[in-house]
Structure 1
Amino acid sequence: MLYWFLKYLALGPLLRVIFRPFAEGLENVPSEGPVILAVNHLSYSDWLFMPLVMPRRVTFVAKAEYFEAPGVKGWLQKKFFGGTGQVPIDRTSGSSAAGALKTQLRLLSEGEVCGIFPEGTRSHDGRLYRGRTGVARVVLEAKVPVIPVAVINTDVIAPPGKVFGRFAKPGVRFGEPLDFSRYEGLEGDRFILRAVTDEIMYEIMNLSGQEYVDLYAQDAKKRDKERADAERKAEEKAAADEVWDEIAE
């Protein structure tokens, strides 16, 4: 009930009036039954704008910590995340990855629309990064169709590291459902998992128009941070050397 209140009576109308999000290919999403939406991840606002253009509820799994904080703030946070279609990862499975898989399989068995960000984390530079094979495992184990989805301009509205950037019209493009039934029973084969994941990412790339980088987003962030730190230290050293040269003269 809270989900529909936030979507249609509170956040939804406000976001629609201000940003006027558009949708393309919405007819590719079935009106009922389980389906996976594999979405690129540009901004924290992706999980707000993407479900906004859909008539069906979209559920994402989220860190259990979001639902366990104490006090009034924790209660409000729990209500907000739950009300915007997020559910906590099942922590009885030993690891967050196993818990996420178990939770997503349960949601799909109940006929839900399950949203997944295959990149695992937000892109820090607007490019599309290598997908984690968890999405392929869910697809093959659940035996349900997966729809590639591209969010557009959300990184302009809410860039990484900022609450708000600048105004833009966000959009969501839904691709045609992908069928991987030909791989039934092979969900334990890591080469099959990689092939399925890469096919999904290829379709997302075509929808989004993003440049693809065959590197995990988390590794790319670490690499770029190390480069930036090295450049900063080099500049500081050059500035210090210049000062000493002037003193020596």
Structure 2
Amino acid sequence: MSFYSVAKNFVVAPVVNTVFRPWVRGLHNIPSEGPAILASNHLSFSDSVFMPVNVPRQVHFMAKDDYWSRQGASGWVMRKFFDLSGQIPMDRSGGKASQHSLNAGEQALRDGGVLGIYPEGTRSPDGRLYRGKLGIARLALNTQAPVIPIALIGTDKVQPIGKNIPRLGRVGMIVGEPMTFESYYANADDRFAQRAVADEIMYRIMRLSGQEYVDVYASDVKRQLEAEKSEAKAARKALRHHSGRRTEDPETD
């Protein structure tokens, strides 16, 4: 029995099923054999725990490569866990590095495996659903594997961004019908075809999850929020400095 099976069936699943009592709909839509891409919304770090617990087959996740570069004892444990559980590091910097990561995911599909991927590329910063990146379309078109849209429900309430310890609460998972894209297979390298496929997948996830859809990349929104936070911090610091000067020298101005 593999590390994945032992960890899932005897450690993770008993805890998750007892504490969080997840509910699942449409599990029969995941094929019992052969390649499949599980395309899910991404609300919480815990998504990568709740989804595979409810899927009978092993799920190889495309996980951001940051998880492999963390330092200290906790970083070592995380790297070992991800490696032993068959997860695939995803370089999101673009270009050849990202393509190398996608090639590893493509190989997992060609080997008949189940690949889990978050098309948004990162967690939603506010609970809304964002534009899907083209990587999932390339995988679907190059391998012709069916895409199974999935909506995770309530994981952001159980473990919001920035919280390390989950809260008590129920989570859910809705599995949609398989999607195939025969009309696009002949144009697998065409970016317009890839965009159409990615948009269709995100539309199906939106219908399942009920989330508001925003046609921009979540990563761009996160960068904007970080910039605004930095500007606000700098403004507060400047205000404190100015207030301090006025206190020290009341004749100023």
Q: Are 1:6 and 1:83, in contact at CA under 8 Å, matched by a contact in 2? A: no
- Please state if 1:105 is matched with 2:103: no
2:45 paired residue number: 44
2:156 maps to what in 1?
155
Residues 150 and 79 (structure 1), Cα distance of their counterparts in 2 relative to 1, 3 Å cut: same
Q: Which runs of 5+ in 2 are unaligned?
A: none
AA in 1 matched with 2:217: Y
What one-letter code is carried by the residue in structure 2 that aligns with 1:14? V
CA-based RMSD = 2.9
SS of equivalent to 1:104: helix
Q: Which moved more, 1:141-150 or 1:233-242?
A: 233-242
Compute the displacement of 1:66 (Å). 4.8
* Shift in CA distance, 229/209, structure 1 to aligned 2, threshold 3 Å: same
Does 2:135 correspond to 1:134? yes
Distance 1:78 1:239 in 2: 42
Shift of 1:78: 3.4
State the distance in 2 between where 1:148 and 1:49 align.
15
Q: CA deviation at 1:76?
A: 3.4
Q: Which amino acid aligns with 1:162?
A: K
Matching of residue 214 in structure 1 with residue 219 in structure 2: no
Partner of 2:96: 95
Question: Which string of whole-angstrom CA distances, capped at 9 and with x for unpartnered residues, describes residues 7-59 of structure 1?
Answer: 01011111110001111111111111111011111111111000111111111
Return the alpha-carbon distance in structure 2 between the equivalents of residues 222 and 67 of structure 1. Answer: 22
Contact 1:28 / 1:176 at 8 angstroms: preserved in 2?
A: yes
The one-letter code matched in structure 1 to 2:14 is P
Give me the identity figure in percent: 45
Q: Contact 1:60–1:86 (CA<8 Å) still a contact in 2?
A: yes
Alignment correspondent of 1:10: 11
Could you tell me which residue of structure 2 aligns to residue 194 of structure 1? 195
The one-letter code matched in structure 2 to 1:199 is E
Counterparts of 2:64 and 2:158 in 1: how far apart (Å)?
24
Given the alignment of the two structures, is residue 118 of structure 1 paired with residue 119 of structure 2, yes or no?
yes
220-229 or 28-37, which moves further after superposition? 220-229
Whether the 8 Å CA contact 1:151–1:171 is kept in 2: the answer is yes
Residues 7 and 84 of structure 1 are in contact (CA less than 8 Å); yes or no, is this contact kept in structure 2?
no
Further displaced range: 229-238 or 186-195: 229-238
Query: Residue 206 of structure 2 aligns with which residue?
Result: 205
Counterparts of 2:64 and 2:43, CA distance in 1? 19
For 2:99, the aligned partner's letter is A
Question: Which amino acid is the alignment partner of residue 214 of structure 2?
Answer: V
* Cα distance change of structure 1 residues 61 and 235 upon mapping to structure 2, 3 Å threshold: closer
Cα contact 2:155–2:171 (8 A) shared by 1: yes
User: Residue in 2 aligned with 1:62?
Assistant: 63
Count of matched residue pairs: 246
1:63-122 per-position Cα deviation (integer Å, ceiling 9, x unaligned) = 5675588997665333311344413459xxx83311221111111111111111101111
**1:238 Cα deviation (Å)?**
7.0
Aligned CA distance change for structure 1 residues 61 and 242 (closer, same or farther; 3 Å): closer
Instruction: Render the CA deviation track for 1:135-190: whole Å, top value 9, x for unaligned.
Output: 00100000111011111111111111111353221111111111101111211111
- Counterpart residue type for residue 158 of structure 1: Q
CA gap 1:65/1:41 in 2 versus in 1, 3 angstroms: closer
SS at match of 2:100: helix
User: Normalising by structure 1, what TM-score?
Assistant: 0.87
- 1:124–1:65: structure 2 CA closer, same or farther, 3 Å change rule? closer
Q: For the Cα contact (< 8 Å) 1:26–1:54, is it kept in 2?
A: yes
Question: What is the aligned partner in structure 2 of residue 26 from structure 1?
Answer: 27
> TM-score, structure 2 length as denominator?
0.86
Q: CA deviation at 1:194?
A: 0.6
Quote the Cα distance in structure 2 between the aligned partners of 1:62 and 1:79.
14
Unpaired stretches in structure 1, ≥5 consecutive residues = none
> Per-residue deviation at 1:234?
5.5
